[in-house]
A and B are shown apart, each in its own frame.
Chain A
Amino acid sequence: KNEVEQSPQNLTAQEGEFITINCSYSVGISALHWLQQHPGGGIVSLFMLSSGKKKHGRLIATINIQEKHSSLHITASHPRDSAVYICAVHSGNTPLVFGKGTRLSVIA
């Protein structure tokens, strides 16, 4: 079974700062997802990637398959980015395995 580790667990940043959240997994994967969960519970899928890099607005996700590691970057952070960010992986055709999440607070 895949083990997914995220770091840091909690992160507080000043508005405008560049933020990096890391995710490591133990077994080869089919795809890795970055999810965002706001207070109240709703989850939004930010990225799904299996190689390279993806960018959407101020968010960038990268993955290194050889090192079994992915990063989520937020440029010019804003208080509305405050949320829990969750990394999740698929191995083969198996269900998602989730990390514990990173709680981000961006202070104005």
Chain B
Amino acid sequence: KAGVTQTPRYLIKTRGQQVTLSCSPISGHRSVSWYQQTPGQGLQFLFEYFSETQRNKGNFPGRFSGRQFSNSRSEMNVSTLELGDSALYLCASSSGALSYNEQFFGPGTRLTVL
């Protein structure tokens, strides 16, 4: 089975721009979660989708949004980028309906905001 894939792997944007990141889960997995990792804050939960519905949302401003498609692929969008949005964005998929099933992580998208 192919693993979780994320595109693009690297991205450079300037302040004020917006960005869309994509995540394709493992085939058959219906849950996708997104995380932000920064040196200062570590790993933080952004949101989780299950069967196209947002099941949980972390404590991030409304500039961060996401969605999941019928094929379980997910996208997250960040609008009006700020320097502090520079981070590694990771997605993870899991097979079950429960949030605490084992999660399989993608390689991440490294976003740099200049």
User: How many B residues, CB 8 Å from partner?
Assistant: 25
User: How many A residues, CB 8 Å from partner?
Assistant: 23
The 8 Å CB contact of B42, one of A30, A41, A101, is A101
The number of residue pairs between A and B whose CB atoms lie closer than 8 Å in the complex comes to 56
Q: Distance (Å) between the CB of B99 and the closest chain A CB? A: 5
Q: Which of A33, A44, A96, A101 has the most B CB atoms < 10 Å from its CB?
A: A96
| Given known A98-B43, A98-B44, contact A48–B102 (CB-CB < 8 A) | yes
B71-113 CB contact bits vs A (8 Å, 1 = yes)? 0000000000000000010101000001111111111101000
B110 near A41: Cβ-Cβ < 8 Å: yes
- How far, in angstroms, from A44 to B92 measured CA to CA in the complex? 10
**Of A11-19, A58-66, A87-95, the one touching chain B:** A87-95
A44 near B105: Cβ-Cβ < 8 Å: yes
- How far, in angstroms, from A101 to B44 measured CA to CA in the complex? 13
Q: Does A76 contact B (CB under 8 A)?
A: no
A95 near B103: Cβ-Cβ < 8 Å: no
Residues on the A chain within 8 Å of B56, using CB: 94-95
Q: Does B33 contact A (CB under 8 A)?
A: yes
B103 near A42: Cβ-Cβ < 8 Å: no
B108 near A94: Cβ-Cβ < 8 Å: no
The 8 Å CB contact of B107, one of A42, A94, A99, is A42
**Can you show 5 pairs from A to B with CB atoms below 8 A apart?**
A42-B108, A43-B90, A43-B105, A90-B100, A96-B33
Known: A33-B103, A41-B110, A100-B42. 10 other contacts (CB 8 A): A43-B90, A43-B92, A86-B43, A90-B100, A95-B33, A95-B45, A95-B56, A96-B33, A96-B35, A98-B43
